[in-house]
Structure formats: C-alpha cells, structure tokens
Amino acid sequence: MRYNKDMKLYNTLTKQKEEFTTVKPGVVQMYSCGPTVYYTAHIGNLRAYVCGDILKKTLRYNGYQIEDVMNITDVGHLVGDGDTGEDKVETTARKMGVHPLEIAKKYTDIFMQDIQRLNITPAKHIIPATHCINEMINLVRTLEAKGCTYRTSDGIYFDASTFPTYFNLSKGNLEGNIGGARVALGEKRNANDFALWKFVGPNTIQKWDSPWGVGCPGWHIECSAISMKYLPVPFDIHTGGVDHIPIHHTNEIAQTETATGKKMCNFWFHNEFMKIDGGKMSKSLGNVYSLQDIIDKGYNPMHLRLLFLQTTYRTVLNFTFQALDAARENYRNIIGALRRHRTAINQTDKKVLADLHQAFTDAINNDLNTPVALAVLHQALKQPESPDIYDLITKDFDRVLDLSLVTATNAEEPATTIPAEITALAEQRLTAKKNRDWSTADKLRAEIIAAGYQINDTPDGYTLSKN
Ligand code: AMP
Ligand code: ZN
C-alpha cells in the first residue's frame, strides 16, 4: 500500500522533529507502556492513551500498517520510588482481601472498557507482565552474563555505570536526570542503578522461582522483555508519558541495548502531562477523575476526547470543567453543522475539497498538530452547506480524529419544540417555493431566522432547528 513519507515527529531521543521513517517499509512496529492495574485509570492517564491513539491513526491515515504491543503491569511496579516498598497491585489486593490477579483483572477490564469508550484502538498484542516471567528471567541472565549486574540483600541490580549512554534519552529533556538519586542509596553502588529482580518474603503472593532466589521482576525489565519478545530490535516507536523519560524508559534502553548490542528503538514519543485546575491531580484534593466520573457528570467520552485534541500532545493540558463544557459546546456545534451539510444539496468545488484535505494532512503530519487539524475542520464546516463537506469530515478527517462524528450525527436530534407559528411560516415558505415565488420564500426565511430559528432545505422539504 502507498504510504506518505512526509510525516514529521518529535523524537525525545534527538530532541528534534524528524522525518518519520520505519525499519520495515510500510509497517510501523510500536510499543506502548500500558497501565499499572491497581486503580482505575484517571483522565490524565487516559490522555496518554488518546495521544498514542492519534499517533497510530495518523500513521494508518498515511497508509502504514501497525504492529503494536502494550504491556499491562500486573506485577513489579513498587509503591516507593527507587525500587522500594511493596508491589502496588499486591498492596491493593491485601487491602481488599483478594488475590492480586483479581485486582489486576478488575482494573484491566475497566481500562479496556474506558479505552473503548474513548475510541482508542487497542494494541494488537496486550500482554500482562505475569505472562512473560520466563522471558524476564532470561533477560536478567543475559545481563548477568555480560557482567552488568550485582546482587544486594534484596535483589539483583543493573549497574548503570556499565552503560555509557545512560543519560542520552533524558539529557536536555528534563532538568538533571536525578533517576534514583532522590532515594537513599542503600546497598546500591550508584544512584541510577535499578532492580532487575527483587527478593520477596513469604507473605508475598505473586512470586516466582529464579536462579537468584524466589522473587518478582523489577518494573523496567517487563517492558524490555515484552518488547523484545514481540518486536525486532530496533523497533520504530516507543510511547509513554514524559514522567517515564528519566527512569523507566532510560532503564528500558539500558537493559535492551546492553542485552542486544543494538539500538532499542528509533523514535521515542512522549505525551506531556495533564493538570487539573492548574495543579496536580491528587486524591487529597479530591480532583482525580476517572472517565466514569466524567460520564456521571453528564458528559460524553467524545467531549473529553475533543478536549484532549484541542491541545497538542507536547503541551501541558490544564483540565477544568469550564474547558470541558466548552469542548461539549464545540462538539455539539460540529454535529449540528454536520447535520446541515449532510442534508444540503449543493456540491463543493473539488479544488476547495482538495485544499482542505491537504491542510488537514499537513497539520496532523506536522508532529500531530491536532489543534490546527480541528481549525481546518471548522474551516470546512464554514463552507456553503454540502454533503461533500459532510463526507470530507466524516470519511476523511474522522479517520484520525475518531470523534464518532457519523454516530453522533445520526443520533436522534435532541427534541426541540418548534413553535406552531414557526412551522406555519416554514410551510408557507415551502408552498411559495413550490410556486416559484422566490421573493415571498426569502421574506419568510428572514422572518424565521429573525425569530431565532434555522431553516435548512432538504430534498423532501426542510428542517427547522433553534439557533
Ligand atoms: P501508570 O498506570 O501510572 O503507569 O500510567 C499510565 C500512563 O499514564 C503512563 O504513560 C504515564 O506516563 C501517563 N500519565 C500518568 N499521569 C499522567 C498525567 N497526569 N497526564 C498525562 N499522562 C499521565
Ligand atoms: Zn514500560
């Protein structure tokens, strides 16, 4: 299939927008860090997956095939920074008095439902960490054989000083790569060393035998092992939030590149964070919202998706309910305008359509500039009403935006009661039109508009709506 090579993507590794290329012509091999399934993903987490989804849909729009993998962290992510504390899934399971896998299943199911409601296409392979323990043990063995690991009383650690390019990803992206430096060194040799395998006590439920003793894998090893199992090295794109740059992704690179002697991945794609009311989301402030919370407040997931797309993925997004209200209004206006285009009878000039298509393509291919792409959508909606515009937006633009525009346009219009006198004016106008009495028809149209209603002609009559 033909694919468009003119796509620019910001690469965290090189700190610049680059022309996107793939290892295998026409195919994008991609890995995404998935959720840690000990809680319901909040809308900040979901922003990360919507950003990844826009990337994927832009690649598809350009004709690429996608081979993608996402992990589910159901073991190994510890409560404390720097490999300290208990496993997050295990802690929640203990509090709830259930098996960790029950917790993992519950939150994986919620996650899968949430991504579906946000029109996020799931990865082809979605792999729980607990399904790849052998691959992780084998990878740690490889690293051990290369002399890059050491043992402490609580686990097997990667010696970051053996990997000379350790700071390549984080350099210039965040102020100072502090990695593990924030936490006490303990038995670690260097602040940036990290656990590959952690020994666990008898009370831990999720544990496995290993050449080093009973334990569980470190968090970073799962992404290296899973990506190496399903993708070649190097693969094309790795995605995740910016918080992963200095530690998690830096450590993934150290592991994979040490083990294989090859570059892990060519493009590192990171979405910026979402804030709430200008600050951090936190349970104590009561501002950690899930998608269900947003739905319970009367919004549609597409209002949230549209809100996300109004900001580029590399910009911090400040979530407020006023902004979500505005996105809902924007969504309703788009749908209202699409309905008018769909039922109109005029054609749009082919050149106008081609220019709009090109402007949209240029916007998304310029490092996924969704705000500009949405501006092009609005520009299209302002054209004289025509089903060609409806088709351009729903069959072309919405392949990337995926805002359920056809479904929403087809959904029953909210019942607005049109007063009898307005309907009477519209009927008189219809009669005038049938009699080719254009001046009366125009006069009646003006009266309808002046009364605050919109009249649109359709092949079998007209539609009336409130302005
Ligand atoms: P976690 O489940 O904590 O591993 O996070 C899942 C994904 O959400 C990761 O890619 C994080 O980088 C991302 N993430 C976490 N918090 C936010 C936030 N406030 N805004 C955007 N992305 C986030
Ligand atoms: Zn990861």
Measured in Å, residue 250 CA sits from the centre of ligand 2 at 10
Q: What is the pLDDT of residue 452?
A: 85
| pLDDT tier for residue 155 given thresholds of 50, 70 and 90 | very high
Q: Which atom of ligand 1 is nearest to the CA of 48?
A: 22
Question: What is the model's pLDDT at position 249?
Answer: 97
Give the residue-averaged pLDDT of 155-171. Answer: 95
**Local structure of 148: helix, strand or coil:** coil
Same fold, 8-271 and 276-410: no
Which ligand 1 atom sits closest to the C-alpha of 36? 2
CA 288 to ligand 2 centroid distance, Å: 22
| Strand-pair category, 65-72 with 125-128 | parallel
Of the candidate ranges 199-208, 252-261, 381-390, the one whose mean pLDDT is the lowest: 199-208
Counting ligands in written order, the one closest to the CA of 38 is 1
Rounded distance between C-alpha atoms, residue 35 and residue 346, angstroms: 48
Residue 282: pLDDT band (50, 70, 90) is confident
Whether the CB of 218 sits within 6 Å of ligand 1: no
**pLDDT value of position 177:** 43
Is 443's pLDDT higher than 90?
A: yes
Confidence category of residue 181, pLDDT binned at 50, 70, 90: very low
Average pLDDT over all residues of the chain: 92
Domain positions in the chain are 8-271, 276-410, 420-466
Q: Is the beta carbon of 71 within 6 A of some atom in ligand 1? A: no
- The encoded tokens of residue 466 equal 């409130």
- Residue 413 has a pLDDT of 65
Q: What is the mean pLDDT of residues 45-72?
A: 97
C-alpha of 206 from chain center:
30
Name the closest-CA residue to atom 14, ligand 1.
45
- The average pLDDT across 178-207 equals 81
Distance 77 CA to ligand 1 centre (A): 13
Residues 6+ apart with CB under 8 A from 298: none
Structure confidence by residue, pLDDT tens digits, 131-151: 999 999 999 999 999 999 999
Q: Which pLDDT band, with edges at 50, 70 and 90, does 429 fall under?
A: very high
**Which residue's CA lies nearest to atom 21 of ligand 1?**
273
Ligand 1 neighbourhood includes 243 CB (under 6 angstroms): yes
pLDDT over 80 (residue 122): yes
Alpha-carbon span 343 to 460, nearest angstrom:
10
* Range 8-271 classified under CATH 3.40.50.620: yes
Query: What does the alpha-carbon distance between residue 175 and residue 109 come to, in Å, rounded to a whole number?
Result: 37
Ligand nearest to the CA of 272: 1
DSSP labels, 169-222: TTTTTSSS--GGGGS--TT-SSTT-EEEEEE--TT-SS-B--TT-SEEE-HHHH
Residue 456 bridge partners (DSSP) = 463
In CATH, what number does 276-410 get? 1.20.120
- Ligand 1 test: best mutation among 30, 31, 45, most atoms within 8 Å of CB? 45
**Tens-place pLDDT, residues 240-263:** 999 999 999 999 999 999 999 999
3-class state of residue 291 by DSSP: helix
Q: What is the pTM of this model?
A: 0.86
